[in-house]
Amino acid sequence: MTRSRLLPALTAREPVTGAEPWTDFWDRLESGATAQGEALAVLASLSTALPDAGTLDALLRSLDARAPRAGGSWSGTVNVVGTGGGPPTFNLSTAACLVAAAAGARVVKSGSRGYTSRYGSVDILERLGVPLAGSYPECEDMLERYGVVFAGPFVYPRELTLLARGIMPFGIKQVGRAVNTLGPFLPRLPVTAQLTGVADPRVLPVLTELAALRAVGGRQLWLVHNGLGVDELVSFAENRIGVDGGAPRVLAPEGADFGPGTLADLAPAAEGTPPGPQLRELLAGRGPRAAVESIRLNAAAAAVASGAYAEWSTALDAARDAMASGAAVDLVERLRAHRAAPPAVMVHG
């Protein structure tokens, strides 16, 4: 297939197995040489129906080859990031990252502003006063200081910005659903594991195949899904966890002695109500039981994926203790103060 065949192949649902057609598209997008409407057509085609896993892997490989070096490996660290979508909930994954770190795990969270909800992870962090890291060295510094870091937009390919400009006056929210679905595979982070929730069951098969293709270099890719369409683990539903595209493991609530619950227990703060106080209460273990238990469950998953704990039961106990002791809330305060903290001084003997 020649380079000029990218858009016709996508619209015809033909596989694009090599990275070269994508590389040519990015090169022309960067130089302003794409045809009028080409960027919009490429993105709309991806968003109308995701192509096969091989085509998506070729897209990601083309971006990998253009990305700056991410630095050394962050051993024993998990990135927590979901596809978004599904029923509205409070920012469960952000809370789980804080609890997991307070329980002794090393956690990175990449994310964005709200796409289908009022508050994405970036929005809630702004309201909590928790800063985003602006570089790889700052990520490493915050991981050493706090055990958790919320990575800024620099970890995402700059080609996304070019793509957003190329589709104007349309926006990513209008025609870029594929960007959100592929979002968990886009950050360039040298972690050893990634925990990704998938909300839409229709994209789960192709993302599972993609996870098998992308599981390289010793990094594990965990995909989690449940019948409620929440892109995190839920304490009152049957969850399925697949690693590196393998057969999923069923994680049932009965095995962890969780109580009953409904989606109403996971609801975000009411319209017009600041979300920060709600999240603080939940981090302290106060709120609907199902919400607190779902935070514990996701924090435990992150802790196990990172390698901090080998057993789920131990990780669940550690997450509960981190909330009950106030360690998770204290971590928020320490992160809020990071803005005024000077960078760590590295002394080499």
Tens digits of pLDDT across the chain (349 residues) = 434 679 999 999 999 989 999 999 999 999 999 999 999 999 999 999 899 999 999 999 999 999 877 767 899 999 999 988 889 899 999 999 999 999 999 999 986 654 445 556 778 888 888 999 999 999 999 999 999 999 999 999 999 999 999 999 988 878 888 888 998 999 999 999 999 999 999 999 999 999 999 876 678 999 999 999 999 999 999 999 999 988 888 887 666 679 999 999 999 888 878 878 899 999 999 999 999 999 999 999 999 999 999 999 999 999 999 999 999 999 999 999 886 445 444 444 3
The top-level CATH class assigned to 1-66+155-174 is mainly alpha
Beta sheet of 74-80, edge-to-edge order: 148-150, 106-109, 74-80, 191-197, 220-226, 239-243, 249-251
DSSP string, 160-228: HHHHHHHTTTS-HHHH-HHHHHHGGG-----EEEEEEE---TTTHHHHHHHHHHH--TT-EEEEEEETT
In angstroms, the CA 116 to CA 81 distance is 15
Q: Looking at this protein, which amino acid is placed at residue 166? A: G
What's the pLDDT at 341? 47
- Domain 74-151+187-337 -> CATH class: alpha beta
Entry pTM? 0.90
Exposed, middle or buried by CB within 10 Å (0-12, 13-18, 19+), for 155?
A: buried
The pLDDT assigned to 2 comes to 39
Domain ranges of the chain: 1-66+155-174, 74-151+187-337
Give me the pLDDT at residue 172, please: 81
Give dist(CA 333, CA 169) in Å, integer: 41
pLDDT at residue 208, as a whole number: 94
Give the Å distances, CA to CA, from 184 to 80, 117, 198.
Answer: 8, 17, 10
CB atoms within 10 A of CB 186: 18
Residue position matching structure tokens 């965990």: 222
The answer to whether 259 and 293 have CB atoms below 8 angstroms apart is yes
Residue positions counted in the chain: 349
